[in-house]
Each structure stands twice: as C-alpha cells, then as structure tokens.
Amino acid sequence: MPHFTVGILGATGIVGQRFIEMLVRHPWFEITALAASETRAGKKYGEQVDWRIGPAVPEEVYNMEMIRLDPEEIKADLVFSALPSDVAREVEPKFAEKGFIVASNASAYRMEEDVPLVIPEVNPDHLALIEIQREKRGWDGCIITNPNCSTIILTLTLKPLMQFGLKRVVVTTMQALSGAGFPGVPSMSILDNIIPYISGEEGKVENEPLKLLGELDGDHIRMADIDIMATCTRVNVMDGHLESVLALMESNPTVDDVKKAFKKFKALDLPTSPEELIILRDEMDRPQPRLDREEGKGMSVTVGRIREGIRYLVLGHNAIRGAAGASVLNMELAAKEKLI
C-alpha cells in the first residue's frame, strides 16, 4: 500500500477544509503540514480556521501548528493546493522546483501545454506530461491540475458521449454559493435572486473540456474538436452545481443509447472512487442539489431528465467531486501508477 506525507496549501479556506476532511484518515496519505497566510503562521490550526463543513475541526489537526507557504518549511512528499489562482501562479512553481508533487485545484496552470489537466476516469494517459514538464522546466517535482468544478461535472458526462461523435455542447450551469468560497456572495445579492454571470467561469467551461477530451500527441495535447457554449449562473444553493446540457452528436443516439453509455462508464479502483460514477434518475424532478449532491460521498454525478435531442441535467458536489476530491483522486491514480 502506498504511503505519502502531504501538506495542504491554503488549509483554512473552503476547499482546504475539504482536503482535510478527505485526507485526515486516508489510507495512503498522511497530513504532516498545514500552510496558510503569514498572519496565521505559528498558530494552532483549530484556533485560526472558521470551520464550515462539519460539526468540528478534526482532532488530528486541531493542534497542528500552521506554517508559511514556503517549501523550505514544509516536510512532505506532496502538497495539495487550495490557493487562489493569483497566489498559486507564484507559489506552486516554487514547490515544484524543490521536488514537491503539487496537486493543484487552482486554474493558474491548467491550460499550460506541459501541465496535465486530469480527470482520472476521463484522461489518465495525460499524466505522461509529468516527465515532459520536468524536462522542459528543469523541475524535480511537478504540477498536476484538476479542472474547474463545473467542468468536471460536465465532462464526466461528455466522455461517454464521445463514441457517438460529439460535436457541439450547449450548457447552462446553476452554481452553488460554496463555489465562490467563504464568505461567498453577499446575502443581499443572492437572496430572492439568481446572478446570471460568474466572472471568468464561462471560458473555463468552454475550453477545459477540449483539453480533457483531447488526445496526447507526443509532448502536447491535441484539443478535441467540439464546440462548447456555456452560460454560468450563481443560485441560492449551498453546495451542488446543477447543469442543463444539450449535446449534439453525429450519430444521433437515442435516449436509451445514451443511458447505456452512461451506465457503462465506470469508476476506477481507487480509495476515493465512488461505487457508481454516473447515477441515473428516472424521476422527472431529479436531480436536485439537496437530495443528490452527497451521492457516492460526493464523488458521483447524478443525471436525470434525459430527452431526445440529447438534453439532460447533471448534478455534482462542487466542493468534493469538483474540487478537493478531484485532486485527491488524481494523486491516488498517480500513486497507483507509480508516477510519483
């Protein structure tokens, strides 16, 4: 059984808290360092964090002394980054240069040609970019990224549709408040309201799937030839992104064809993998965030209302499957394949 010591960068935020939740009793990973801003360095984690995701800060990390975002201070084999993208762009390469494996949830390096952008069930072969990245940048370590939360939920359903000649996707996202971090959206902006724009989000949803669904071609990814148009909105839901999808394909599959394809798309054999990757709902009013976001401990996506066209709704837990859980799954795959 693999064993790695891990640090968490940005440990006090919503995604950092999810990392701790998923790693504190992980069979392969042991938390040995929690890092955050300079003002929190030297203080106990449990006394500095506004814990938002459970009844209490896990006792295993409560008294852990927080350290600075400095690779010289962190004793670990790899680090999980929950840093904001502007901070990640500066900090993550410093860790990679020093030999750390950086599992990044930030957008800063996702679309770099030599950086793997991975969903393990979709494009595990793209991890081959690790060695190309190391050679090109002269790093002993590397950066491995997972996609945007909405992108992950969408792409897990697009991958099984590729066999039908997927050509065009129109998607509208209804994104949860936790996706904006803490404290998120001001209450007077979101109560009794839907915000029909999220800065920078639509470009990620339109472009990241093209890399994920593309083909590894030597030292780069040949992007998938799919036209994706996205409208991203913020809704008054705590967790769980719901997405309305129209998928146009060359072979015009039936609803039954699509259902069979979804059912055949299986989860991997990794500690964080759900038993069922895509859960189908036959009820006309499902999926719903409050009822379905915790499926597979937050690592499954739920699909319903599949209609001729092909049109459907997909729901996933943005902070688990769409963020922390995605990074953890990436590292589990890399460890299993002995790439780290």
Nearest to 34 by CA among 67, 58, 1, 4: 67
- Residue 317 annotated to the active site: no
Q: How far is CA 47 from CA 23, 56, 57, in A?
A: 20, 11, 9
Active-site choice (149, 220, 232, 317): 149
For residues 74 and 124, give the distance between their C-alpha atoms in angstroms, rounded to a whole number. Answer: 28
How much is the CA Rg of the chain, to the nearest whole Å?
A: 19
For residues 145 and 264, give the distance between their C-alpha atoms in angstroms, rounded to a whole number. Answer: 26
CB 229 within 8 A of CB 151: no
Active-site choice (126, 142, 232, 241): 241
- Write out the two tokens for 99: 């030999």
For residues 281 and 279, give the distance between their C-alpha atoms in angstroms, rounded to a whole number. Answer: 7
Nearest to 230 by CA among 200, 253, 252, 255: 200
The residues annotated as belonging to the active site are: 149, 241
